Structure 1
Amino acid sequence: MGQVFQNRSFLAEKDFTRAELEYLIDFSAHLKDLKKRGILHRYLEGKNIALLFEKTSTRTRAAFTVAAVDLGAHPEYLGANDIQLGKKESTEDTAKVLGRMFDGIEFRGFSQEMVEELAEYSGVPVWNGLTDAWHPTQMLADYLTVKENFGRLEGINLVYCGDGRNNVANSLLVTGAILGVNVRIFSPKELFPAQEVVELAEAFAKESGADILISDQAAEVIPGADVLYTDVWVSMGEEDKFKERVALLKPYQVNQDLVDLAGKEELIFLHCLPAFHDTNTVYGKDVAEKFGVEEMEVTDEVFRGPHARHFDQAENRMHTIKAVMAATLGNLFIPKV
């Protein structure tokens, strides 16, 4: 299986088969085990990796940097103000230049078209660290965390609560459908996922046997949940929408009542972070002052409670990103016979 990834880009989950995604998740678990045991795994010795960030980042940037170094590669960070991507130089021209200097490129930004163009013209593997459409590296971390807790993915009930049409919701729905996970989106009708995303997920679900459900009724989607997952109510670039989102999404907050409604002792809570669970951020203070809301998409009680696995999930960003880079670019020590 390792050979099928060589020189491929990782742009969206829908481009990969169930077996391929399962391989990457299991390979991530293997690399995590090697790191915990202090065993070197320098599959990218001597490689150079370009990290392009149009959007700011904590976990994605840290994960790519540490993963690259662990693999023996040198990561070079190029932020929004460091290069001319799309401004004074076309994406095509930038891709051709970077592809001649670097062995692999990570891109985190707004446009899915841009990451696809980078892959088309650079001639090296390109990895999507988040666009407005998809967040594929996040998915590997999420589903690795689910597998670590339940020992399986097939038949697990995952409910995403909140803004149902953002990149994380899109990705959870489609990736879950590919992997045989029952994904339910619990969101207001105004924020249901786009129809084409739902249709894509339903097509994959037919193959895997997954059950897809989108509803604004808690009683329809929460009971029996194994995983409750949420994300910020306002995505990057939408900061002017705080007032309407707070009003719209308050009923979709993950709180103890929702956990109780799920009715499962072994339930886990996931969040791709950052989370607004208190007022210890500039954003949090601002929203509390303006709208009187001290906790947004998740309450502090649940965030710090016994079901929370989001810091395992955050760590898993690094192990899964490492697996993607190693599989697509690395010498996987496959013996020649």
Structure 2
Amino acid sequence: MGTRHFLTLNDLTPDEFKQLIVRAGELKQMRNAGEVYEPLQNHVMAMIFEKASTRTRVSFEAGMAQLGGHAMFLSSRDTQLGRGEPIEDSARVISSMVDVVMIRTFEHATVETFARYSRVPVINALTDDYHPCQLLADMQAYHEHRGSIQGKTAVWIGDGNNMCNSWINAAALLDFRLHICCPEGFEPMQSLLEQHADRVRLFRDPEEAVKGTDLVSTDVWASMGQEEEAKAREKQFTGFQVSPALMDLANPDAVFLHCLPAHRGEEISEDMLDDPRSIVFDEAENRLHAQKALLEFLLVN
């Protein structure tokens, strides 16, 4: 088998996805127990950031260190990726010196091209189209609190963005239903909606979308790179805020997720993160554990 990459969730089989969720929980328990586990000694990860991030950098850098390896941070000022040097040349050179590459960038084609010419695993830490690492953490959080998500119904409220696209992939792989509630003009990829029409439904009314669901998730209305649209989007997303009152329409044991950072008073009410149904901070911590499981899967297995 050739080099395994992780560019979307579809790079995993359903069984591998479930295995990663379980393994992430085991690694979390090991860390909490103070157990030292360092299978990646003498391994180096290049972390290429064309988009900044708090959680992505901290979780990957800390995770690599805890597994006994080293993470090298490369900002957009530190590389020639896509500027002056073709991506394929950068991929050939960088992958000849490290053991794994993590990329957080804009165009999804960038990670696809890099992976095509890389001799080591490439991890998509976010593109404009997909955010698969976040879904590993999200599914781990749900599994910890409620068990298997198979047969359940989740709802995504807000922009049909990269997170929403990855939620669709997760629904197909883990066999759950997904309600997507967004204003007109903010739908996720049409190809994904068509491909998974058997399990994905589109809504315009948040109250209707949330009724009887088991998990409610949202994201900021204006993502990185959309700052100039923020004011206009506030008006277009009026009525799409997630609040405890909206959560009351979901099933009694429903949980709330948000990939963070959150804009309190916009896509969520001021008190939503503190609601007992919110498992957002467990979800955020799980970026560390899920990504450690992913690194182990790609480099050790």
TM-score, length basis structure 1: 0.86
Counterpart in 2 of 1:218? 206
Offset at residue 49 of structure 1 (A): 0.7
Counterpart in 2 of 1:227? 215
3-state SS of 2:239 partner:
helix
3-state SS of 1:196 partner:
helix
Q: How does 1:57-136 map to 2 (within 5 A)?
A: 57-136=53-132
Counterpart in 2 of 1:183? 178
Counterpart in 1 of 2:252? 265
| One-letter code aligned to 1:325 | L
Offset at residue 218 of structure 1 (A): 3.0
Offset at residue 189 of structure 1 (A): 2.0
| One-letter code aligned to 2:273 | F
Provide Cα deviations, 1:120-163, integer angstroms capped at 9, x if missing partner: 11200000100001101001000111111111110222111111
Matched, 1:249 2:219: no
| One-letter code aligned to 1:178 | L
Offset at residue 171 of structure 1 (A): 0.5
3-state SS of 1:56 partner:
coil
Q: Distance in 2 between matches of 1:44 and 1:155?
A: 36
Offset at residue 219 of structure 1 (A): 4.3
Q: Distance in 2 between matches of 1:152 and 1:105?
A: 31
Provide Cα deviations, 1:193-245, integer angstroms capped at 9, x if missing partner: 2210212333xx5xxxxx32111023432111211101000011111111221
* Greater Rg by CA: 1
3-state SS of 1:34 partner:
helix
3-state SS of 2:150 partner:
coil
Q: Distance in 2 between matches of 1:253 and 1:218?
A: 8
Offset at residue 10 of structure 1 (A): 0.5
Contact 1:50–1:105 under 8 Å retained in 2 = yes
| One-letter code aligned to 1:314 | A
Q: Distance in 1 between matches of 2:196 and 2:69?
A: 36
Q: How does 1:131-142 map to 2 (within 5 A)?
A: 131-142=127-138
Q: How does 1:20-59 map to 2 (within 5 A)?
A: 20-59=16-55
In structure 2, relative to structure 1, the CA distance for the partners of 1:200 and 1:13 (3 Å cut) is farther
3-state SS of 2:81 partner:
coil
Counterpart in 1 of 2:261? 274
| Structure with a larger share of its residues in helix | 1
Number of aligned residues: 301
| One-letter code aligned to 1:154 | Q
Offset at residue 90 of structure 1 (A): 1.0
Q: Distance in 2 between matches of 1:41 and 1:171?
A: 30
Q: Deviation above 2 Å: which 4+ runs of structure 1? A: 199-202, 217-220
Root-mean-square deviation (Å): 1.4
